Amino acid sequence: MKKVLMLHGINHNMFGKRDPVQYGTITLAEIDARLQALGVELGARVESFQTNSEAQMCERIHRAFEERQDAVLINAGAWTHYSYGIRDALAILVCPVVELHMSNIHAREPFRHQSVFAEIVKGQISGFGIQSYLLALRAAVAEVDTK
């Protein structure tokens, strides 16, 4: 069974309460349950991790390297646009990394248009709400299956 790590970034613990126009009313627990269910269908065990601490996020990414995760999904939230620390941690990984966002970051405020992760991730999926997570998982598993 493939091991896939889902990394949720800053403020994602507030999904379901925070800005329902951008993020809908789905909670983080509901997102994780949907990912785990799809993972079973795809032959992958999905582990989720959420933190509001940049240092903890980097440490979890380092641990993903040591654990030899087969793929990593990341929705880093605002860190996407400025965290070179998380970017450098992700660059250590040898597995496919898929960046995802519920909202279309390219249709939002100008400061959100840039991803400092873009040049090191396999790909980016944004703008599809909860489907961004499910599409990212499908893409990551497909990428692992082609190797």
Residues belonging to the active site: 23, 101
CB 35 within 8 A of CB 6: yes
Instruction: Please give the structure tokens belonging to residue 39.
Output: 């993972």
Both tokens of 58, joined, read 């980097």
Give the DSSP H/E element, type plus range, for residue 58: helix 54-67
